[in-house]
Structure 1
Amino acid sequence: MPYLDTYSGSWTKKEARHLLRRASFGVTQSLVDTSVSLGLSETLNILFSENELPNPPLKYVLDGTSNGEALDPAANYGETWIHGDVVPVEDANTSAKNIILRYRTRSLYAWSYLQMQNAEMSIREKLTLFWHNHFVSVNGNPHLEYYYMNLLRTNSLGNFKELTKQITIDPNMLRFLSGNQNLNTAPNENYSRELLELFTVGKGDAVGNGDYTNYTESDVIEIAKVLTGWRTRGLTNADALTSYFQSNRHTTGDKNLSHRFNNAVISENGDQEYKDVIDKIFEQEECSLYITRQLYIWFVNSEITSEIETNIIIPLAEIVRNNDYDISEALKKLLASEHFFENVFCMIKSPLDLMLSATKSLLLSAPTTSVKEEYEFAYILYLACSDLEQSVFNHPDVAGWKAYYQGPLYYKTWVNNFLLPKRLEYCKVLVTGGDLVIDDKNYTVPPLVPVLLIATNITNAEDPNILINELASQLFNYEITESQIISLKDILIPGLPDFEWTIEYTDFLGNPSDDAIRISVENKLRSLISVMLQMSEFQIM
């Protein structure tokens, strides 16, 4: 079996959709056509291109004195607030401060959704979310969260080892895992434990008292000592967004690692000592194996058999090590492989993948008539994903979303008896419009999917069989059965022969300004597409 040999089959829309769906969020027909014309190699080159970072989130509400409007001194409407004070309003007006922080948080969350929605042919946003799920850091302050995510986005295509160093002293992470409370008089092991167990080598099996395959409890203690002395300032401080090293709170002297790290000694090195211990951790081959498994689960399949370990994980991990922990070459190798293109329809879409595959496939985007409308619409879709238990910035725990680490269910976690009906209803509402009820609050979604445009972009859409097959190809990426076509035709033209659709759609094309004909055709298309989005075929990729 070729495994990591470069895919040598035909490069068609089917293969292009598979790659773009896994490597980014959703895909438009235009991007698919572009990829087909580029070919596999050039598509990957563009996916991994270093693009300019996006402009920061904006203030999307008007200043006012009523209805909870934000009197934010940091920005005018349509400007960014990230250069303002971390805690706004100097007069300690708690109500005003909370209003401002609430709108900034919503602005950040909506903006984050828009980055995924508006990304073109780029893997950066998918990798940014990967690192967000890997280096989980929950805080609640929008400024800290923005700069934490900006760190992940900036380094998303880069070096795993260097990102680990930067995240170790990131103010958001220092607060989240008690790093700023890690003192020589009272070492705190929260971060050192997660650094080993979740971020770098993984725990492995217990093989003795306090001894695991990849580290020991004594390593957790010694690494905690290495990291003592790093602090954060209060949120009202002008330097709240930076960390600093306080030498008198640092544990001095040598730190001795266990046999799991070849009894290495980390010599006293002040504010550079954290880099030394991370370099030592990354000398373990298990670091490359661990991150390669995580990337495989994220992009390919949750099942890592002994065969996959031998033929995929181990050789890719070697590429990671040979590139000093730059991940791009190994990931390109994986995404270009025969193995990747054999692993189709085995991944249940995450809520974000579900929403964005629906909106992008159906040419649905946030309204751009104003910043306010754009951000409010994006925030509703962000909330919908959160309601389906994938809330960016708000992981359930430090291990991330269960779909990517908790066997045997893995991706099936997204479709339990509680979540599946919600997924289906949200898919329907995206097409037909209606109310999304989230946390007992109604959010109205207008019917913005341009179903008439989608149909007119399909050649010979007056034939219901061609129309349905082409929609299936775009939404499901493979042919559906004859019985499914018959069932879907019954949604489009209930109990009627094919020619009834042909006549009605042809009449619409000839008389597009006739409201009665247009509304009838539009309603039929909305019903058809909404049902297709609720089919199991749309829930997987």
Structure 2
Amino acid sequence: MPLLPLNVALDVKRAAHLLRRATFGATKDQIDVFAQKTPAEAVGLLFRQGLPDPSLPIDPKTGQPWVLTPVTEANSKGFELEEYFKKWVIGQMMSAGVAESDSLAYSAREKLVHFLHTHFTTITSKVGNSRSLYYQNQLFRQFALDGVSDPDVNFKNLTARISVDNAMLRLLDGNLNVKGSENENYARELLELYSIGRGLEGTQPPTTTPGDYGVYTEDDVKAAAKVLSGWDVDDTFANIDLTTDLPRGKVKGSPTNASSHDNSVKQFSAHFGNATVQPDPARLNGGNPTEDSAFDEITQWIDLIYANDETPKNICRKIYRFFVYAMHTPEEAIAIDDTIIKEMALTFVTGGYKIQPVIEELLCSIHFYEAGGAVTDDNFGGIIKSPIDLVVGTLRFFGVTIPDVAADTTRFYEATGEILGNVTLQAMSFYEPYDVAGYDAYHQFPIYHRYWITPNTLANRYNFIRDLFNSMAQNSMFDIDLYQWVKNNIENAKAADAGLLTMEIAKYVLPVTDNLTFDDATDDTSGLTAKRLNYFKARFLQTFDEAYWTQRWNENAADLDAQLEYLFNTMLQSPEYQLA
């Protein structure tokens, strides 16, 4: 049982670690509250709360939602609506318009929605329809917190429904896949990217049989394409899935005669037990395929995929990389696969293919907080923050809020547009990854999250912090009053002491803060070193000594905010702050 639970109160370091990974960021007060909780209590607060549905995105041109009704000439242009949709998603990550009591749990749900987006990716320019993107996002939200009593809400059923999702049908040419002229794009990516994968990263042996990839074959792809044939994008969004109550694609022909669906028996390889997928006679109409029979074949095929032991492991590897650590060598991958991933996959299968119980067990485990094993940097600070985590997480830490989209549409889009602009400058083309595999940082062995850092992106990360704390900055929606923040969040005795203030800020914004000291002689160099801490303090004090800072703080000097900018700029423009 490698995933033994941690049964003690978290403390500040662990609470900050949990909230950096499981949400889009927390305030100091929220970290302090969670520091008193056990992991089980904390995870319950994050994932077991009743939450409101998001406010609908608004088209500024009409002042009305556009996603539930047909777009008309009165609406903004299509590309503008796509941008508004992306900004709306950013607003959900910021918990825009959500009551403070729900904000953190809301953010945790949106982190799961984002995980599903990074897994079942999409590309705005290929989909070309904001309503399709919105309904896919809502589908993810419906399945994100799947640890509920309804057994049909699970990752396996999500895989079936994403297969006929309008955005996915457009992205991977499912609408071009017809009987007699099968398009294999989605069938191939469903196997390679979204379900069974291609084996453990960096350890796959060379294939000796042409067309056999070790866990599936080319013939499996061809047979799967036939299973998936005959569907089309429904631009009217009138075809409603009875389970999710959300629009989905439609079959070509009619619901009672899916004329473009291949109705033959589909044979799969030994990787799937030499099983077949075939139409259910009870669902046919006079021997002709129907929408019901065509979708039933998809569920049969998904059942076969998930019955293969490799599929749960591949899904759990992606969960592990997203929330814990990305293995950069085959040796690391094998060590984790034989222990942690094996345990996660067991929970996934026995729990009815639900991801929430897997994630909750992981976030409550000793392993999540203490790591260990084959490497030494696989827990605190083991992941480079994505641009979204950096930008949104920083704003949330300082208590920045933005209005609900309906309450102040103009300011909502201005604020989320500024956030999106910073994310783009840091090389995350949100909803526009380079290819259908998604953002490289989430899937590309062996680099993974290291893709986020280049000389240019690092400079833009630092520029974001500089502009955020620059009291003279122009044209920014965000103005953080550092003096007032310190006054509100740090005990006065600590705020008046330059050393204590530096250490206190470090505890909350940097991931590795054990045994902090300014004394080289007593420094155990286990994390943030005395040399590094002294550097932060020196940059903060500039030419002043510590006694003069104390005097100026107690006198409430006029330019304290300007001096605090040195401390926060130095600490948050550091390499350490790029880590989660």
TM-score of the alignment, normalized to the shorter chain, above 0.5: yes
Deviation at 1:145, TM superposition (A): 0.7
Q: CA 1:318–1:486 in 2, change beyond 3 Å: closer, same or farther?
A: closer
Taking the TM superposition and a 5 Å limit, the aligned residue runs for 1:28-177 are 28-49=27-48, 51-59=50-58, 61=60, 70=61, 72=62, 77=63, 79-85=64-70, 87-89=71-73, 99-118=76-95, 119-122=103-106, 123-138=108-123, 139-158=127-146, 159-177=154-172
Q: Is the 8 A contact 2:324 2:368 kept in 1?
A: yes
Instruction: Provide the TM-score with structure 1 as the length reference.
Output: 0.88
What is the rounded CA distance, in whole Å, between the counterparts of 1:144 and 1:349 in structure 2?
Answer: 29
Equivalent-residue separation in structure 1 for 2:537 and 2:478 (angstroms): 22
Q: What is the distance in 1 between the residues matched to 2:267 and 2:472? A: 62
Matched, 1:355 2:409: no
* Map of 1:223 onto structure 2: 224
Q: Tell me the equivalent position of 1:458.
A: 490
Contact 2:155–2:355 (Cα < 8 Å) also in 1: yes
Contact 1:253 1:267 in 2 (8 A): yes
Q: Report Cα offsets for 1:183-205 as digits up to 9, x if no partner.
A: 00311101100111111101234
Moved more, 293-302 or 109-118: 109-118
Mark the CA change 1:6 to 1:248 in structure 2 (over 3 Å): closer, same or farther.
same
Shift of 1:495: 1.7
Distance of aligned partners of 1:493 and 1:367 in 2 relative to their CA distance in 1, 3 Å threshold: farther
Which residue in 2 is equivalent to 1:191? 186
Q: Secondary structure at the match of 2:475?
A: strand
Q: CA deviation at 1:444?
A: 2.5
In structure 1, stretches of 5+ residues that fail to align are 62-69, 90-95, 436-442, 509-516
**SS of alignment partner, residue 248 of structure 1:** coil
Q: Following TM superposition, by how much is the alpha carbon of 1:60 offset from its aligned partner in structure 2, in angstroms?
A: 6.1
Deviation at 1:173, TM superposition (A): 0.6
Instruction: Pick one of 440, 452, 455 that aligns with 1:417.
Output: 455
State the 1:10 CA deviation.
5.0
Q: Are 2:408 and 1:385 aligned?
A: no
Offset, 1:129: 0.8
Displacement, 1:484? 3.1
Residues 29 and 227 of structure 1: CA distance in aligned 2, closer, same or farther (over 3 Å) = same
TM-score of the superposed pair, with normalisation by structure 2: 0.82
Of the candidates 295, 298, 301, which is equivalent to residue 277 of structure 1? 301
Runs of 4+ in 1 over 4 A off after TM superposition: 236-241
Report the residue type matching 2:356 in the other structure.
S
Paired AA for residue 137 in structure 1? T
Contact 1:23 1:126 (8 Å CA) reproduced? yes
- Per the alignment, residue 503 of structure 2 pairs with 469
Give the Cα separation in 2 of the matches to 1:308 and 1:506: 52
* Identity percentage of aligned residues: 30
Moved more, 474-483 or 303-312: 474-483
* Equivalent position amino acid for 1:490 in 2: A
> Which of these residues, 311, 333, 343, is aligned with residue 287 of structure 1?
311
**Contact in 1 for aligned 2:263/2:279 (Cα 8 Å):** yes
Contact 2:58–2:66 (CA<8 Å) still a contact in 1? Answer: yes
- The question of whether the paired residues in 1 share the 8 Å contact of 2:400 and 2:478 is answered with no
Report the Cα offset of residue 325 of structure 1. Answer: 0.5
Cα 1:106–1:310 change in 2 (3 A) is: same
Corresponding position: 1:24 with 2:17: no
How far off is 1:40 after superposition? 1.6
Cα distance in 2 for residues equivalent to 1:14 and 1:505:
27
* Gap regions ≥5 residues in structure 2: 96-102, 147-153, 241-246, 253-257, 281-292, 371-378, 517-527
CA distance in 1, matches of 2:472, 2:477: 6
Please tell me whether residue 370 in structure 1 is matched to residue 408 in structure 2: yes
Q: Distance in 1 between matches of 2:472 and 2:496?
A: 28
Query: Which residue does 2:531 correspond to in 1?
Result: 483
| Shift, 1:53, TM fit | 4.7
Query: Residue 55 and residue 8 in structure 1: after superposition, are their counterparts in 2 closer, same or farther (change >3 A)?
Result: closer
Distance (whole Å) between structure 2 residues aligned to residue 531 and residue 428 of structure 1: 9
Deviation at 1:229, TM superposition (A): 1.1
Corresponding residue number in structure 1 for 2:268: 257
1:243 counterpart residue number: 249
Alignment correspondent of 2:289? none
Deviates more, 1:29-38 or 1:159-168: 29-38
1:238 Cα deviation after fit: 6.3
Whole-Å separation in 1 of the counterparts to 2:471 and 2:260: 57
